[in-house]
Amino acid sequence: MSGQAWFQKKPKIAAPGPAEASANSSRMEGIWEKCDECGDIMLAEELTKALNVCPSCGHHMALPARVRINSLCDPDSFEEFDADLESMDPLQFSDSKKYKDRIKSTMKALGEKDAFIAGVGTFDGRRVSLGCFNFDYMGGSMGSVVGEKVTRVFERAIELKCPAIVFSASGGARMQEGILSLMQMAKTCAALNAFREIRQPYISVLLHPTTGGVAASFSFLGDVIIAEPRALIGFAGARVIEQTIRQKLPEGFQRSEFLLEHGMLDAIVQRKDMRGKLIQMLGLLAS
């Protein structure tokens, strides 16, 4: 009797077709996340519970603006204002894409009308006027609408006689609006100066990254300035500075730890501790 016995034969298993492979990939998508700092793989659900902080290395990944606000304010206390403001295209700007088309596609993709969310919420029962940048919206760039919303954060605080908090994460002024964008630096600082009259605290929280015109205006004018770990903070980029001064910059230059060491920050606060730290500061400074 010739040939192999049935138990010695290897079964033939057909490779999955494109449709089956795609279905398997879709089922796995969104289940796992990878830390872009240490490379560890973790369940997306666990990462969400940790507020997008890697449990292995502590790396603070990006956190959506609305998730951040809801994680910090008392439950169901945040009331959004100025949500209907939309950017215009006064300069009819066009680069690789028309500005008005870029706005339209970004709004559709994110479901947000611009790069800043503003409103009023409570921290341990204390009312606060606050705003948070949405970096996913054109790099959190500050155009006329963002500048107006930041200004209204301070104006609303004056009206309510309450503290103000701004969470900054921005690439700077929005180039598509030219000088109208740069004007927002002076406008927001003028509103902040008026806010000083009511003698309530303004806490500025610097997130990764905070650069350009946002860093050069209201972000560094807080009564208390705090940041998350390893946040990139500064005006010009490191390469631009090196080329200008013709010197090699120190290790970690423009990271929050470097700024704290050189007296430009008051504290670096872990994301899990941020709510408690803000409540503590408001308790000490607010009237």
pLDDT tens figures, 71-96: 999 999 999 999 999 999 999 999 99
Average pLDDT, integer, range 201-219: 97
**What value does the mean pLDDT take over residues 252-264?**
96
Residue 4, pLDDT score = 60
Residue 44's pLDDT is: 93
Q: Is the pLDDT of residue 6 over 80?
A: no
CB distance 94 to 56 below 8 Å: no
> Region 108-125: what's the mean pLDDT?
97
Q: Is residue 26 very low, low, confident or very high in pLDDT (cuts 50, 70, 90)?
A: very low
Domains and CATH numbers, the chain: 17-61 (no CATH), 62-285 (3.90.226.10)
Residue 260 has a CB neighbour count (10 Å cut-off) of: 16
Residue 1 scores a pLDDT above 90: no
**Mean pLDDT in the chain?**
92
| C-alpha span between 139 and 7 (Å, rounded) | 62
Higher-scoring residue by pLDDT: 23, 125: 125
Is 70 exceeded by the pLDDT of residue 28? no
The kind and range of the H/E element at 169 are strand 164-170
Q: Left if phi > 0, otherwise alpha if psi is -120 to 50, otherwise beta: which for 45?
A: alpha
pTM recorded for the entire structure: 0.88
